[in-house]
Amino acid sequence: MVDLLPDQLRLMATAYPDEVAYRNLGDGSSITFGRWEAESNRLAHGLQGKGVRKGDLVAIDLEAGQILDFIVTYSAVHKIGAVSVPMNNRLSPPELRSILEHAEVTAVVCSGAFEDAVAPLSGTLPSLAVVATVGPSEHGRFADLEDLKIQDTSAIQVPIDETDLADVMYTSGTTGMPKGVAVRHGNVALLPNALPRWNGSKWLSATPVFTFAGLGFIYNPMKAGMTVLYLPKFDAGRWLDIVERQRPVIAFVVPAMARLLIHHPQFDSADLSSLRRLILGSAPLSPDTVERLQARLPKAAVLNSYGMTEGGHATFTMDPDGARTRPGAVGRPTPPVEVRIVDDQEEVLPTGEIGEVITRNPGGHREYYRNPEATARMWDGGWLHTGDLGYLDADGYLFIVGRKKEMVVRGGMNVYADDVEAVLQAHPAVVEAAVIGIPHEVLGEDIAAYVVLRPGTTMSTAELQAFAGERLADYKVPRRVHYLAALPRNPGGKVLKSRLNTTNDRKDIAGP
Which one of 2.40.10.10, 3.90.400.10, 3.40.640.10, 2.30.38.10 gives the CATH number of domain 335-405? 2.30.38.10
What residue type is assigned to position 36 of the chain?
A: W
pLDDT score for 140: 80
Q: State residue 313's pLDDT score.
A: 67
Does 511 score more than 80 pLDDT? no
Judged against a pLDDT cut of 60, whether residue 100 lies above it is answered with yes
CA distance 365 to 367: 7
Identify the residue with better confidence: 209 or 401: 209
Q: Which residues contact 286 (CB under 8 A, 6 or more apart)?
A: 255, 328
Cβ proximity of 220 and 252 under 8 Å: no
164, 193, 160: which is closest to 3 by C-alpha? 193
Determine which of 119-133, 162-176, 253-267, 379-393 has the lowest per-residue pLDDT on average. 162-176
Helices (H) and strands (E) in the chain, counts: 14, 26
Residues 392-419 pLDDT 10s: 999 999 998 777 767 788 998 888 787 8
Q: Indicate the DSSP class of residue 296.
A: H
The residue type of 62 is L
Contacts of 323 (CB under 8 A, 6+ apart): 290, 294, 301, 302, 303, 304
- Using alpha carbons, select from 289, 316, 319, 326 the residue that is nearest to residue 303: 319
pLDDT category of residue 324 using cuts at 50, 70 and 90: confident
Whole-number pLDDT of residue 175: 44
Q: How far apart are CA 318 and CA 332, in angstroms?
A: 6
Q: Assess whether pLDDT exceeds 60 at residue 101.
A: yes
Q: What order do you get walking across the sheet with 480-483 strand by strand?
A: 430-440, 444-453, 480-483, 506-509
Q: 435 falls in which pLDDT band (50, 70, 90)?
A: very high
Lowest mean pLDDT among 156-165, 381-390, 467-476: 381-390
Interstrand relation of 355-360 and 338-342 (parallel, antiparallel or unpaired): antiparallel
Answer whether residue 283 shows pLDDT above 70: no
Q: Is the pLDDT of residue 178 over 80?
A: no
* Domain locations along the chain: 30-185, 335-405, 407-509
Q: Is pLDDT of 20 > 90?
A: yes
- The 10s digit of each residue's pLDDT in 446-495 is 999 999 998 899 999 999 999 999 999 999 999 999 999 998 876 556 68
Selection from 125, 126, 111 nearest residue 66 by Cα? 111
Establish whether the linkage from the previous residue to 336 is cis, with ω within 30° of 0: yes
Identify the CA nearest to 247 among candidates 262, 227, 220. Answer: 227
Q: How far apart are CA 392 and CA 38, in angstroms?
A: 48
Comparing CA positions, the residue from 442, 508, 441 lying closest to residue 479 is 508
CATH architecture for the domain at 407-509: 2-Layer Sandwich (3.30)
Maximum separation of any 2 CA atoms in the chain, in Å: 72
Please, what is the average pLDDT of the chain?
A: 90
Torsion of CA 62, 63, 67, 72, to 10 degrees: -10
Is residue 105 within 8 Å of residue 85, measured between CB atoms?
Answer: yes
Report which secondary-structure segment, H or E, holds 477.
none
> How far from chain centre, in Å, is Cα 474?
15
CATH class as words, domain 30-185: alpha beta
Statement: residue 41 has pLDDT above 90: yes
Provide the pLDDT for residue 174. 41
For residue 510, the 8-state DSSP code is -
pLDDT recorded at residue 164: 96
3-state class of 489 per DSSP? strand
Angle 436-438-439 from CA coordinates, rounded to 5°: 155
Averaged pLDDT for residues 289-294: 89
| 93-107, 397-411, 426-440: segment of lowest average pLDDT | 397-411
Distances (CA, A) of 14 to 17, 33, 155, 157: 6, 8, 11, 16
Checking if the pLDDT of 144 tops 90, the result is: yes
pLDDT tens digits along 210-239: 988 899 999 999 999 999 999 999 999 999
pLDDT, residue 177, reads 61
Contacts of 342 (CB under 8 A, 6+ apart): 348, 349, 355, 356, 358
Please tell me the least confidently modeled range out of 9-23, 50-64, 383-397, 482-496: 482-496
pTM of the model: 0.87
Q: What percentage of the chain exceeds 90 in pLDDT?
A: 64
Nearest to 332 by CA among 321, 350, 319, 351: 319
In sequence order, which residues have a C-beta less than 8 Å from that of residue 196 and are 6 or more positions away? 222, 223, 224, 225
Res 505: pLDDT? 46
Evaluate if residue 242 carries a pLDDT over 60.
yes
**Range of weakest confidence among 34-38, 71-75, 300-304:** 300-304
Residue 306's pLDDT is: 83
> Has residue 509 got a pLDDT over 70?
no
Please provide the distance, in angstroms rounded to a whole number, between the alpha carbons at the two ends of the chain: 53
287-296 and 255-262 helices, crossing angle to 10°: 60
- For the segment 99-107, the average pLDDT, to the nearest whole number, is 96
